[in-house]
Every structure is written in C-alpha cells, then in structure tokens.
Amino acid sequence: MAALVPPPPPTTAADTTQKPKEDEKVDYFNLPCPIPYEEIHREALMSLKPELFEGMRFDFTKGLNQRFSLSHSVFMGPMEVPSQSPETIKIPTAHYEFGANFIDPKLMLFGRIMTDGRLNARVKCDLSENLTLKANSQLTNEPHMSHGMVNFDYKGKDYRSQFQLGNGALFGANYIQSVTPHLSLGGEVFWAGQHRKSGIGYAARYNTDKMVATGQVASTGMVALSYVQKVSEKVSLASDFMYNYMSRDVTASFGYDYILRQCRLRGKIDSNGTVAAFLEERLNMGLNFVLSAEIDHRKKDYKFGFGLTVGE
Amino acid sequence: MAAQARKGGISLPERRNPKKDDEGVIAKFSQSQVVVRGKQAANDAAFVTKKLMKSTGKAAWIAGTTFLILVVPLIIAMDREQQLNELELQQANILGTSAPPPK
C-alpha cells in the first residue's frame, strides 16, 4: 500500500505534529509526549472512517453562553437491522436527539438523549495538572445494553498511561512511551471478568512531519497497520490494513483527505469492494452541508445521505 | 447394440446404418468432421464472447460508479478552488494596479 503513495513534494512545514524541531543530537531526556494509546490511529481514522450515513440529518447547535450550549438533531432514513441472511434488511426510522454541553477548560460535560430512549453521558474532568478523569455511560431501555466506563489518564513528560474501569468487571490499562523523537511504543492489558477474557496488545507509532505509520497487535488476533502520508498541507493519503487471525478477515483500504478552502472531501476504497466519499461543504459561517455516499459493489448496497449542520 | 438386445430390453431397429449410403450431399456435408467442429467452435466462441461482454460490462459499471463517487467530486472541488484562487488574484491585481496610479 505504501508503494502507491507518491513521493512527497517539497512543501513547507505541515505543522500538525506538536514536537519542536530538535538538533541532530537527540536529547533522550527531553522527548515529546506521545499521543494517547487509544488514539494512535487517529490520522488514519480521520481520513478512512468518516461518519457515513444514509438518509437525512439535521444538526443544530445553539450556544446559550460561553460555556453552555444545546444541540438538537433530527435523523430520518433507513436503518440497517442485523440479520443472519447475507442481504441487508433496512427499516425506515426517524429520531430526534437532544443534547446539552457544558465546556470549561477544566470540566467538560456532554449529555445526549434520543427519542428511542437512549441516554448518553460523557464527562471529562482535569483532576490535576497531569491526571484526567474521563467517564462515559450509555443507558438504554433494553436490558444488558447499558454501558459504563471510567478512565483515568496520567500524562507524564514523555509517556502517558491510562487505567480503565468498566461495567461487567472490565479492567484495562495501557501505557505508551516515546522512545525517540519520532517513535513511540506502547502496550496494553485488559481483563473482562464477565466474559472471562483477557488479553494484551502492543502498538508502535512512527511519526514525522510528513508521514505517520502505526502498527498494533493484540492477543485477540487483531493486527492493524496504517500509513498516512501528508502530501501537502491540504492533502493527505492514508492506507490501512486490518487482519484478524481468529476470523481470518483481511481488509485493506486506501483513502484520500482533501481539505479545501470551502470544503473537505474524503474518499475511500477498500478491498471488500466498498467505495465511499464524504463531502463537507461550508456554505456560510456556521452552516455546513454534508454529502455522504457509500457503494458496496459486492453486496449491492448503496447508501446516500445528505445533511445540514448549523451552529458551532 | 447386440449385447443390449440380448439383455432383454427393447432395442430400436437399426435403421441408421443402412440409410447412410443413400444420404444427400448436403446431409453428408453437414455431418462431416469439419463442419461439426466448426459449429462447435462457433458455439464456443459465441459463448465466450457473451461471457466476456457480460464481465466487461460489469467491470465497466463498477469502474464507472467508482469513478463517479471518488473522482468526480474531487475534480469539481479542485476546479472550484482554482476558480476562487483566480478570482482572488484578479481582485488583488485590480486593487493593486488601481490603488497606486490614480489615472
């Protein structure tokens, strides 16, 4: 996949990485802080996994004051129902979601409630300079579908660690450490008491101004590799490869992410025969128009959607 | 044939062989090796062409729709970006040239 990417043209600095330029001699006591373990695929996911949808959506966010805002969103369209048969079954649905956000530098609270009875709450709170508490919970009216999760993140000078607690006796911990200014390595362990499962995983990430390469393996049989090349400030090309040893699923995908003055366009093609594009067009200040298209040639499943985002 | 008849089954009277001698020229020709083979070849060719056409059509459809989804929006977006850039350049030119020398 990497061979598909053309060599980078000499462009001015792409300043998405946060590290200062260091001299040739590497100061190993002054390494930059890595990005969190769960976000190591961030760049690849940004280009390869846009929020594709089918139908119509309308999102409206209204800020009441500096810190408090309310959001309303309406979605109408077919919803896929999971089934055993190879062809997908879709039923038309419509729902409304009401949300309230409180954003403060030290404390963030998000709440969402949907008309079908789902409630989602998120908290992010900086307990001290380095310690952050994140909580996420989802309540539904169906039994056994409610989740809760609490994360404690500790950010060190050149490392980050996280401890996770979830319902169903889920415990997890991960740690990521910068090894050189560009390379960071990490590992994780988890234990799910309810399902009597445990596992470990390792991850590596190499990033420079022009490219990001990541690799992750876990004892669940998952192997994920990704590569993102920033061709210029506006364009980045991404590819990823997923392999699951247990289910023998292999997926490779290739995508582009083009940020223009008035729009952002993301396109993706993958080895399952799926082609997708996602266009976000800025019509006016605070008014965005979204178009989403996804074609699955193999399943003959075609999804098209449009939406409007107002506010923010 | 004889063995079959002896087994007890009803066998058709062997009319073919004696008739073979007094067949017409056209029948003879149509039953000749060359023509039979030719026919078969033509049939095969037609079948393969049909299949080929079908798969080519399918491939063209997939390629076309993929192009429509992936590339056409990109072209439109880039084209508009260029137009915007040109417009801006023009405006800058007009402003830049008109401002210093007041004619």
- Rounded distance between C-alpha atoms, residue A275 and residue A295, angstroms: 5
Residue type, B38: G
Query: What separation in angstroms does the CA of B24 have from each of A90, B13, B15, B27, B38?
Result: 66, 22, 16, 5, 20
> What is the spatial distance between Cα A276 and Cα A143, in angstroms, rounded to a whole number?
34
3-state SS class at B83: helix
Domain positions in chain B: 34-91
Provide φ and ψ at A8, rounded to 5°: -65, 130
Read off the pLDDT band of B49 (50, 70, 90): very high
Minimum distance, in Å, between the CA of residue B72 and any CA atom of chain A: 10
B69 to chain A, closest Cα gap in Å: 6
Q: Are A258 and B84 an interchain contact pair (Cβ–Cβ within 8 Å)?
A: no
B69 vs A contacts (CB less than 8 Å)? 267, 275-277, 293, 295
- Note whether A198 and A173 are within 8 A (CB): no
Summarize pLDDT for A187-206 with one digit per residue, the tens. Answer: 999 998 888 889 999 999 99
Give the type of residue at A242: M
Chain-wide mean pLDDT for chain B?
A: 80
- Within 8 A by CB and 6+ apart from A27, the residues are none
Q: Which of B69, B70, B77 sits opposite A263 (nearest CB)?
A: B77
**CB A256 to CB B74 under 8 A?**
yes
Question: In the CATH hierarchy, which top-level class contains the domain A37-311?
Answer: mainly beta
Confidence of residue B10 (pLDDT cuts 50, 70, 90): low
**Cα–Cα distance for residue pair A268/B74, rounded to 1 Å:** 12
pLDDT at B65: 93
Structure tokens that stand for A183 in this block: 């390379």
Is B65–A279 a contact, with Cβ atoms under 8 angstroms apart? Answer: no
pLDDT in tens, B60-98: 999 999 999 999 999 999 999 999 999 999 999 988 765
Cα(A259)–Cα(A236) distance, rounded to whole angstroms?
A: 9
CB contacts of B73 in chain A (<8 Å) are 265, 267, 277, 279
pLDDT tens string, chain A, 312 residues long: the values are 334 444 444 433 334 444 445 456 777 888 888 889 989 998 899 889 999 999 999 999 999 998 999 999 999 999 888 877 777 788 999 999 999 999 998 899 999 999 988 999 999 999 988 999 999 999 998 888 888 999 999 998 889 999 999 988 899 999 999 999 899 999 999 998 888 889 999 999 999 989 999 999 999 899 999 999 999 988 999 999 999 998 899 999 999 999 998 899 999 999 999 999 999 999 988 899 999 999 999 888 899 999 999 986
Q: Are A154 and A138 in contact (CB under 8 A)?
A: no
Residue A260's CB: how many other CB atoms inside 10 A? 17
pLDDT of residue B24: 80
Q: By mean pLDDT, which of A25-34, B14-23, B28-37 is the weakest?
A: B14-23
A37-65 pLDDT, tens digit per residue, is: 989 998 899 889 999 999 999 999 999 99
Asked if the model's pLDDT at residue B3 lies above 70, the reply is: no
Q: Which residues of A touch B78 (CB under 8 A)?
A: 258, 260
Looking at A64-210, which runs of residues are DSSP E strands? 68-81, 89-103, 107-114, 119-126, 131-139, 147-155, 159-166, 170-178, 183-192, 197-207
More confident residue, A58 or B3: A58
